[in-house]
Amino acid sequence: MQVPGMTIVFYLIAVITVAGALAAMLLRNTVHCALALTVAFAGLAVQFLELDAQFAGFAQILVYIGAVAILVVFAILLTRGSETPKQGVFSRTWLAGLVIAAMVFAVLGWAVLNSTSALPSETAKPSVNVLEIGNALMGRYVLPLEIVAVLLTSALIGAVIVARHEKGSAK
Amino acid sequence: MGPITPLQGYLLLAAVIFAVGLAGALTRRNAILVLIGIELMLNAANLNLIAFWRYGPHPEALTGMMFAIFSIAVAAAEAAVGLGLVIHIYRFTQTTDLDQMNRMKG
């Protein structure tokens, strides 16, 4: 299916992204999974840049590769998660999970492929600079911005309280 | 069904990533890998938002982009709290295996 206006870069990065996601979900060693997850995040960041959303692409790199991937590696190393369990890495009900995921993908793919006329297809390249994004964040989107600030603060405090080492409670 | 448009290409890529993340979240034993699967699903949703913003009729309104940026911030908070919970549970049970976490008593 050759698509007009769709570059070879899209296919290349899409293959790398999907391979990273598959490796993150299939590999036995948990640390390798975290590294494959970083590849998938980087591929998605490049896709954001391809879509002319530079700010979102760099936010993706900063937040996901810079923070979330590091947090995942920390959690794996703090919990001995890198040891492969004897009874395998997949749960007993893996077949049901796989069937559910395949059905969800079938429905999504069917909906996307059968809605060619309903989907918007503007070809004009949007020119958005960081100044406009900053103005929008401080103007129209100032209330969501403040709510996200409160959410991040409470999540930070909550994560510290939850993960804090309490004396006498740990076995 | 003719050739697919660029928007459909991105939507299909997001559907593949979402399905991979969902399959991982439903089948892996390790709680951290289930969280990784959830992160992949959130990322697929972000790709949809950005793609609709890019090919939608009013990109200058920045709606889809802002939605994706706020979604990234909320996902970061979710990852921090989720991994904190996993570490806390690990202190009590000495395992991150979800099949062995079958009681609510501490």
DSSP character string of B6-57: HHHHHHHHHHHHHHHHHHHHHHBSBHHHHHHHHHHHHHHHHHHHHHHHHHSS
Q: CA-CA distance, B4 to B56, in Å (whole number)?
A: 16
Nearest-CB residue to A151 (from B5, B77, B90)? B77
Cβ separation A136–B73 shorter than 8 A:
no
The upper half-sphere exposure of residue B84, i.e. CA atoms within 13 Å in the direction of its Cβ, equals 17
Cβ separation A108–B18 shorter than 8 A:
yes
- Looking at residue A2, its pLDDT comes to 47
Chain A, nearest residue to B41 by Cα: A21
Nearest-CB residue to B23 (from A37, A101, A144)? A101
Cβ separation A18–B20 shorter than 8 A:
yes
* Helix, strand, coil % over all residues of chain B, rounded to 5: 80, 5, 20
Does residue A103 or residue A162 have the better pLDDT? A103
* Beta-carbon contacts of residue A58 (< 8 Å; ≥ 6 apart): A45
Query: CA-based angle A121:A123:A126, to the nearest 5?
Result: 115
Q: Which residues of B touch A101 (CB under 8 A)?
A: 19-20, 22-23, 26
Cβ separation A120–B30 shorter than 8 A:
no
Cβ separation A1–B3 shorter than 8 A:
yes
The upper half-sphere exposure of residue A142, i.e. CA atoms within 13 Å in the direction of its Cβ, equals 4
- Looking at residue B2, its pLDDT comes to 58
Q: What is the mean pLDDT of chain A?
A: 86
Q: CA-CA distance, A53 to A151, in Å (whole number)?
A: 24
Residues forming a β-bridge with B30: B97
Residue A41: Cβ within 10 Å count: 24
**Distance (Å) from the alpha carbon of B87 to chain A's nearest alpha carbon:** 6
Residue A118: Cβ within 10 Å count: 7
Interface test with A, best of B34, B69, B90 (most A CBs within 10 A): B69
Total residues found in chain B within this entry: 106
**Could you read off the pLDDT of B49-105 as tens digits, one per residue?**
999 998 888 877 888 889 999 999 999 999 999 998 888 888 888 877 887 777 777
Cβ separation A3–B86 shorter than 8 A:
no
- Is the model's pLDDT at B5 over the cut of 60? yes
Mean per-residue pLDDT, A96-110: 93
Q: Which residues of B touch A72 (CB under 8 A)?
A: 32, 35-36, 79, 83
pTM for this predicted structure: 0.89
Q: CA-CA distance, A14 to A43, in Å (whole number)?
A: 7
Q: CA-CA distance, B24 to B40, in Å (whole number)?
A: 9
**Could you read off the pLDDT of A46-94 as tens digits, one per residue?**
999 988 888 899 999 999 999 999 999 988 988 876 566 677 778 888 8
Q: CA-CA distance, A36 to A161, in Å (whole number)?
A: 30
- Is the model's pLDDT at A151 over the cut of 60? yes
* pLDDT class of A167 with cuts at 50, 70, 90: low
- Looking at residue B101, its pLDDT comes to 78
